[in-house]
Structures are given as C-alpha cells and as structure tokens.
Amino acid sequence: MALLEASNVVAGYGETEVLHGVSIKLNAGQVVTIIGPNGCGKSTLMKAIVGLVRVRSGSVHFRGVDISGHDPEWIVRSGLCYVPQSDNVFPSMTIRENLEMGAFVRRDDYQSRIDEMFELFPDLRRSARRKAGTLSGGQRQMLAIARALMLDPVLLLLDEPSAGLAPALVEGVFNRIKDINSAGVSILLVEQNAKESLRMSDRGYVLSGGVNQLQDTGPALLDNPEVGRVYLGG
C-alpha cells in the first residue's frame, strides 16, 4: 500500500480549475519530486493534499485513509505536515516560540523535540532568541522545516524550499532534507531546482497545464533528453 496516493485529482480556485486529473504515488521512506513550469499546478496539488484547497473530484489517500474533504488540522494530526514556499514563519516571534507553535497539537512535553531540532539545525540554536523576521532567507527556511518537524510527521510536504536562496545556501537545504529522510520521514517535494531534487529522489513527476506529463525514477528523468531540454536547461 502506498503511503500517499492522489488519484485523478481535480482542484482549483473559484471558477478556475487548475488541476485536471493529476495522479501521484509515494511509498513509505521515499523522496518524490514534482517539477514543471510556473503555473502548472504544483503548489495547488500540495494544497489539495493537505486540505487547503478543495478536491472537486478524485481522491487523496494517506496511510490507506481517504483524507479528501478533511480539514487541514485533522490531516496534520494524521501525520502529514506542509511547509509552504512563503509566509511560513511567525516573524514577530523568536525561533524558540516558532518551534513551540509548531507543537500546537501535541499533548506531551515537547522540549526534547525542540532540542532535537536544534541538533538538526545548529544555526537555529545559536539564534534561538532572535525574532524570525530578522533571519536570513536560508535560516527562515530551516526554521519553517523545523517547525513542521515538531509534530513528528510521517510525511513532509515541502513547497520550493530552495526558492530565493543564494546558491551557497541551497546545498545546505538539500543536505538537511536528506538527513530528514534518512531519519525515516518520507518527503514530497516541489522544486524549481530540478537537477538537485531529482538527483535525490526515488521518483519524479512532471506536471504541465494541470495534468501529468511524465513520471519515472528521479535518475531516469534526469537522463531524459526532453526533461533536460525543457526543465533542466540542457
């Protein structure tokens, strides 16, 4: 059984339909990447999976349960967390306060989990009392991921985690993603940095115009001449 399976998902905003029957599958322990041009529906698919956009038809199953139509808090409690591309931290709160907010549905003592996040992201420990609004782009992204991990998710959805970062910081973000996956968290990744994301992915999907165009293993998509020409700049 797949950990996550979206089948023929149709979704959009108001009268506008963005996804016209998209399907993806992710097995436990995998990293799966979705690539495609701007406006093709990648972020909309993420939001539909996590309940922020209504699934008009089709279905989303997580851990064998149909989560289509459930509200985002219920979905988060089931073990799935989402890190959006922007507005993903509370800028007026400190790093530690952001992490505490990430534990909002926990009923246990989460202080040890904060310590684990500081081990995974040492930069955050050194700046724990700084307000998130004063952090660099890379630090904000690390904080957003750490906040999502406060709930010990089974599956982490990351929307453009390297967007807007200096090239020197991008490698650090991808290294942390690899560490998180190695610790047992499955990852669904939307990325413009297709080369790096496909290189670390078990499987990849190419969306275009709100529909599936291609799917294969990450390495096979990297070697696909059409994918290279259109999406990888080669």
Q: List the domain range (segments joined by +) for residue 23.
A: 4-231
- In order, the DSSP letters of the chain are --SEEEEEEEEEETTEEEEEEEEEEE-TT-EEEEE--TTSSHHHHHHHHHTSS-EEEEEEEETTEE-TT--HHHHHHTTEEEE-SSS-S-TTSBHHHHHHHHTTT--S--HHHHHHHHHH-HHHHHTTTSBGGGS-HHHHHHHHHHHHHTT--SEEEEESTTTT--HHHHHHHHHHHHHHHHTT-EEEEE-S-HHHHHHT-SEEEEEETTEEEEEE-HHHHHH-HHHHHHHS--
Q: Within a 13 Å sphere around the CA of 32, how many CA atoms are in the beta-carbon half?
A: 25
CA distance 178 to 202: 12
Whole-number Å distance between alpha carbons of 10 and 179: 33
CB 122 within 8 A of CB 142: no
Q: In the predicted model, what is the mean pLDDT of residues 110-114?
A: 90
- Closest to 75 in 3D by CA, of 103, 51, 105, 41: 51
CATH code of residue 105: 3.40.50.300
Distance between CA atoms of 58 and 7, rounded to whole angstroms? Answer: 6
Higher pLDDT pick, 52 / 107: 52
State the pLDDT at residue 96.
94
Report d(CA 34, CA 181) in Å as an integer.
Answer: 17
pLDDT digits (tens, 9 = 90+) for 146-156: 999 999 999 99
pLDDT above 70 (res 119): yes
d(CA 219, CA 201): 8
Domain count, the chain: 1
Question: Is residue 233 pLDDT above 70, yes or no?
Answer: no
Binned at pLDDT 50, 70 and 90, residue 161 comes out as very high
Q: Are 201 and 34 in contact (CB under 8 A)?
A: no
Mean pLDDT, the chain, rounded, equals 92
How far is residue 109 CA from its own chain's centroid? 26
Q: What are phi and psi of 223, to 5 degrees?
A: -90, -5
pLDDT band with cut points at 50, 70 and 90 for residue 232: low
Question: The whole model's pTM is what?
Answer: 0.92
Q: Is the pLDDT of residue 234 over 60?
A: no
Q: Give dist(CA 22, CA 213) in Å, integer.
A: 10
